[in-house]
Amino acid sequence: MSVLEKTRAPEQPPRAAREPRITDEHGRRVRVWELALRYVLLLAVLALTIGPFLWQLSTSLKGPTEDIYSSPPTFLPGDPTLHNYARVADTIPVWDYALNSLKVATANVVTNCVGAALAGYALARLRYRGRRAATLAFILAMLVPVEGIIIAQFTTMRDLGLNNTLIGVVLPGCIGAMNVLLMRNAFLNLPYEIEEAAFVDGANVWQRFLRIALPSVKGTLAVVAIFAFMGAWDDFLWPLIVLSDPSKFTLTIGLNYLHGTFANDERLVAAGTIIAVAPLIALFACLQRYFFRGVGEGAVKG
Amino acid sequence: MALSGTSRVRRQLPTSPWLFAAPGLLVISAFVLYPFVSTVVNSFTDRRTLIPGRFVGLANFRELLHDDMFWTGLRNSTLYVLGVVPLLVVLPLLLALLVQKNIPGIAFFRSAFYTPVVASIVVVGLIWVWLLDERGLVNSLLETVGVGRVGFLSDQWLLLLSAMAVTVWKGLGYYMIIYLAALGNVPRELHEAAAVDGAGAVRRFLTVTVPAVRSTMVLVGALSSVAAFKVFSEVYLLAGPSGGPAGEDTTLVMLVQRTGTGLSGRVGYASALSVVVFVVTVALMLLVLRADRKEDA
């Protein structure tokens, strides 16, 4: 192994001069065969992860006369058409459902950002009796598995008269305990001196919060916003339980209904799923680094 | 002057910090902590959605022991943990090693591998329902290569395995990112020393990489086992609301949802089921963390 490397070593510098130098994360050169193997594996995994989405897209674009069950399969639609998307809108009020999802997701973003920033600041910076108890309450709330309390959440919503409303969909997760703790950590990581100086200069707590602390944690706030949006847009179990009136459905519940009622119409269901997933993929494409950052921060806490 | 006077007074008011924390505390109290307590309390009653219910002691739990559906659900949720967790601990680590090196286009691959995480479980579930359909893509390919068609979604066990595959497929990218962060902290000197000693790639993986990211593997094990035990959507979508042939693919959370919701929902009994979900979830966490500590000793 090491002998091989030594004999090959002399011819490396000239090649490196011709090609762009490809190095690993430590700045060392990557061998060609290893590189080729890596790309082969990467492409194989790519086919596995993205392939199913593309197959769904392809199915949704195939017209009523095209065979979608052929063997061997035809991957590209012979005569692409948007006909199935129009049919989805004729079958279920898909744009109303999309609007409901958008309302729920937007409300979830606003309440989580405002609520988590305020509470996180209170836990990190403000001094008062009971701060430790308040922190503990959020930690406990984070540890409670949602699936274990949905029945009680459902009865609570009934008692409040909010089941079968979009407000009822938003309320239970509208200020997530984990988001509060994320914001708390972000505030704790800020140097305290600046706020102390502002305090000495007579800035009150709102001024310190809004003008000094909040602008410094914009990154974490963006993470909270994105995960709140994604969480609400993708959520299934809770809206399934709380919504029973088809006119109030969100997109995921509408899709489930579409699948349950028109399971044999694969083109129709495919078009519906593409409508539901496209906005999030677009959002992800634009804001990738916050998505990745959120995984890191969430995992450390979780 | 008066203004600065009031602001100084307000700064000292003890209510202000509580004002900041109040919305958050109110929400988690009303919609997380109270429901948690009320779940435990309800599990000792015969409450129904429209009927207040009386204290019945341990009757719900005694009924559980004789409820075949409960054992089916417990079995399936447990099998889910056993099937999914090893794959979700190992595969994303390998994937992270694959996308770790900064070769051209790697950012695209990382994002592409993460895409299933972004998609709603409903979208993912329905995509796979169609892929695994009797006449779907997977069966077309299997027929083309001469294996013949497989009833992934009609057999009780194949259904459960298919749902597990969907869970793994959707989770790969998420845990890959967690591992990627951990791999960045593995000291390069260790790899070099091992390479100098003549250790091949597999050996270096087992003797350098795995010990270095072991705490992350434990974290992934804990996160994925808790999530796997609470599985609902994948099985609900693949097997249908009633849980596949004769309900044999029902998971514990599906049973909670089916028993406790709707106008005739048996809230008390569903709460007892939920208590089992709590207990097993906590036990799983402790088990994984204890396994970690044992390896330390």
- pLDDT tens track for B29-77: 999 999 999 999 999 999 998 888 899 999 999 999 999 999 999 999 9
The arithmetic mean of pLDDT across residues B177-195, rounded, is 84
Residue in chain A closest to B240 (alpha carbons) equals: A260
Query: Residues of B numbered 93-152 whose beta carbons fall under 8 angstroms of chain A's beta carbons: which are they?
Result: 95, 98-104, 106, 109-116, 118-123, 126-131, 133, 135-137, 139-141, 143-144
Q: Is the Cβ pair A119, B271 closer than 8 Å? A: no
Look at residue A302 and tell me whether its pLDDT is greater than 50.
no
Look at residue A17 and tell me whether its pLDDT is greater than 70.
no
B214: CB partners within 8 A, 6+ apart: B292, B295
Cα distance from A164 to chain B (closest Cα, Å)?
11
Question: What residues of chain A lie within 8 A of the CB of B126, using their CB?
Answer: 255, 259, 269, 272-273
Q: Give dist(CA A252, CA B12) in Å, integer.
A: 48
Q: Do residues B30 and A149 lie in contact, with contact meaning Cβ atoms separated by under 8 Å?
A: no
Helices and strands of chain A, counted as H and E runs: 17, 0
Domains and CATH numbers, chain A: 2-81 (no CATH), 88-301 (1.10.3720.10)
pLDDT exceeding 90 applies to what percent of chain B?
69
What's the pLDDT band for B296 if we cut at 50, 70, 90? low
Q: Which residue of B123, B131, B139, B281 to mutate against A (max A Cβ within 10 Å)?
A: B123
User: How confident is the model at residue A299, as a pLDDT?
Assistant: 54
What's the pLDDT band for A23 if we cut at 50, 70, 90? low
Q: Is the Cβ pair A23, B102 closer than 8 Å? A: yes
ipTM for the assembly: 0.89
What's the pLDDT band for B5 if we cut at 50, 70, 90? very low
Question: What residues of chain A lie within 8 A of the CB of B4, using their CB?
Answer: 202
Q: Which residue has the higher pLDDT, B248 or A295?
A: B248
Domains and CATH numbers, chain B: 67-296 (1.10.3720.10)
Cα distance from B297 to chain A (closest Cα, Å)?
24
Cα distance from B293 to chain A (closest Cα, Å)?
18
> B200 burial class (0-12, 13-18, 19+ CB within 10 angstroms)?
exposed
Q: Give dist(CA B61, CA B72) in Å, integer.
A: 16
What's the pLDDT band for A198 if we cut at 50, 70, 90? confident
Is any Cβ of chain A less than 8 angstroms from the Cβ of B177? yes
- Tokens describing residue B115: 């895409």
pLDDT tens, position by position, A129-155: 888 999 999 999 998 999 999 999 999
Token pair 């909010």: residue: A162
Is any Cβ of chain A less than 8 angstroms from the Cβ of B18? yes
Look at residue B120 and tell me whether its pLDDT is greater than 80.
yes
User: Can you say how many angstroms the Cα of residue A217 is from the centroid of all Cα atoms in its chain?
Assistant: 19
As a whole number, the mean pLDDT across chain B is 89
First to last CA, chain B: 66
pLDDT tens, position by position, A82-123: 999 999 999 999 999 999 999 999 999 999 999 999 999 999
What's the pLDDT band for B4 if we cut at 50, 70, 90? very low
The arithmetic mean of pLDDT across residues B249-263, rounded, is 92
Q: Do residues A268 and A258 lie in contact, with contact meaning Cβ atoms separated by under 8 Å?
A: yes
The arithmetic mean of pLDDT across residues A183-187, rounded, is 93
User: How confident is the model at residue A284, as a pLDDT?
Assistant: 92
Q: Which residue of A40, A59, A70, A151 to mutate against B (max B Cβ within 10 Å)?
A: A151
Q: Do residues B153 and B238 lie in contact, with contact meaning Cβ atoms separated by under 8 Å?
A: yes
Q: Is the Cβ pair B131, A151 closer than 8 Å? A: no
The arithmetic mean of pLDDT across residues A268-279, rounded, is 94
- Which of B28, B49, B178 has the CB atom closest to A141's CB atom? B28
Look at A44-53, B237-246, B251-260, B286-295 and tell me which has the smallest mean pLDDT: B286-295
Residue in chain A closest to B226 (alpha carbons) equals: A145
pLDDT tens, position by position, B262-278: 888 899 999 999 999 99
